[in-house]
Amino acid sequence: MTPRDLSDQHRDTVVLDSERIYRGAIWDVVRERFDYNGEELSRDFVDHPGAVSVVALNERDEIMMIRQYRHAIRAIDWEIPAGLLDVPGEDPLICAKRELLEEADLEASEWRHLTRLNTTPGGSNESTHIFLATELTESVHDYVRTGEEADMERTWVPLADAVQAILSGEMTNQISVTAILAAHASRQ
């Protein structure tokens, strides 16, 4: 039996009309009309700049976790360092290095791109690049954390404990779940 190709198949879709119906502080909402197999359809979606996330893994097989308030879910959740690709044209790896420093006070000498994730393809064009960072060192910077970042809690968690928290349903941040499981699988 031949293995099935499971890669996403991108299409050159003819967009008939695109209108920004809401301009937000971080992302916008766009309404597009397009031709799909001879039928005209209309869809609204979140137009997102993209993001990065970092599984920072130390020599004790622990990952850096951050506890941060997320207003949309009205919860303080555990997640890995992450951030927006909000500098036009910025390389995702450069952004990942910046976010690791700003959120976790860490730098890494070894970087590996684990995967890319379309977070909610039915309603957003957000694409998140997931990196594994190793050979970590503590670092200082002049970045000032404000808003929800001002009171972030940071801690090291054994990778095995994070995987167990995911499998038991305790940890539900989708990007962190995917990133941690990808890091875990890459080490097997």
Can you give the CATH number for the domain in which 97 is found? Answer: 3.90.79.10
**Do residue 26 and residue 103 come from a single domain?**
no
Q: Where are the beta strands (DSSP E) in 37-146?
A: 39-47, 51-56, 62-70, 75-79, 82-84, 106-118, 127-138
Enter the tokens of residue 74.
């009205």
**Do residue 146 and residue 177 come from a single domain?**
yes
For residues 123, 119, 173, 7, the Cα torsion angle rounded to the nearest 10 degrees is 140
Q: Which residue has the tokens 């970087």?
A: 111
pLDDT at residue 2 greater than cutoff 90: no
More confident residue, 25 or 163: 163
**Do residue 42 and residue 56 come from a single domain?**
no
Identity at 4, one-letter amino acid code: R
**Do residue 20 and residue 56 come from a single domain?**
no
Domain of 30, in residue numbers: 14-46
165: enclosing H helix or E strand: helix 159-167
pLDDT tens profile 164-174: 999 999 999 99
More confident residue, 121 or 147: 121
Residue positions annotated with a catalytic role: 149
For residues 52, 148, 67, 144, the Cα torsion angle rounded to the nearest 10 degrees is 70
**Do residue 39 and residue 63 come from a single domain?**
no
Stretch 19-37: mean pLDDT = 95
Report d(CA 181, CA 188) in Å as an integer: 11
pLDDT of the residue at 142: 79
More confident residue, 70 or 156: 156
- In the chain, the N- to C-terminal Cα span, in Å, equals 26
Identity at 186, one-letter amino acid code: S
Q: Per the structure, how many domains does the chain have?
A: 2
Global pTM value = 0.89
Plot region of 14 (φ>0 → left; ψ -120 to 50 → alpha; else → beta): beta
pLDDT tens profile 50-108: 999 999 999 999 999 999 888 888 888 999 999 999 898 999 999 999 999 999 999 99
**Do residue 134 and residue 96 come from a single domain?**
yes
pLDDT at residue 23 greater than cutoff 70: yes
Q: Is residue 7 part of a domain?
A: no
Q: Is residue 42 part of a domain?
A: yes
Report d(CA 26, CA 48) in Å as an integer: 8
Q: Where are the beta strands (DSSP E) in 80-122?
A: 82-84, 106-118
pLDDT at residue 116 greater than cutoff 70: yes
**Do residue 41 and residue 59 come from a single domain?**
no
pLDDT at residue 113 greater than cutoff 70: yes
